């Protein structure tokens, strides 16, 4: 947060989206692990239902991040 607060414009956009890619990558991994190895059936089911949504969000974040990098090197 401190680093982002010092940025503006295109550099802020690039750094923010890079953070989103990293965060969503971690989220997908955690939810997949829970869906596969969790012990609570309800939590496993919730994680399994949520993984595709998180994967879609990750894909969108990657796409936006790549577009920002390509358009503003």
Q: What is the CA radius of gyration of the chain?
A: 15
Average pLDDT, the chain: 92
pLDDT of residue 73: 58
Domain boundaries, the chain: 2-71
Tell me the pTM.
Answer: 0.83
Q: What is the DSSP letter of 7?
A: -
What are the tens digits of pLDDT across the range 25-43? 999 999 999 999 999 999 9
Residues 61-73 pLDDT 10s: 999 999 988 876 5
Give which of 59, 63, 65, 56 is closest to 13, Cα–Cα: 65
Cβ contact 56:24 at 8 Å: no
């Amino acid at each position: 947060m401190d680093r982002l607060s010092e940025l503006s414009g295109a550099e802020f956009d690039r750094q923010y989206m890079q953070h989103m890619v990293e965060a969503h990558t971690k989220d997908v991994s955690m939810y997949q692990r829970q869906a596969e190895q969790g012990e609570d059936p309800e939590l496993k089911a919730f994680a399994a239902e949520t993984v595709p949504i998180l994967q879609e969000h990750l894909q969108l974040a990657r796409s936006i991040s790549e577009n920002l990098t390509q358009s503003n090197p």
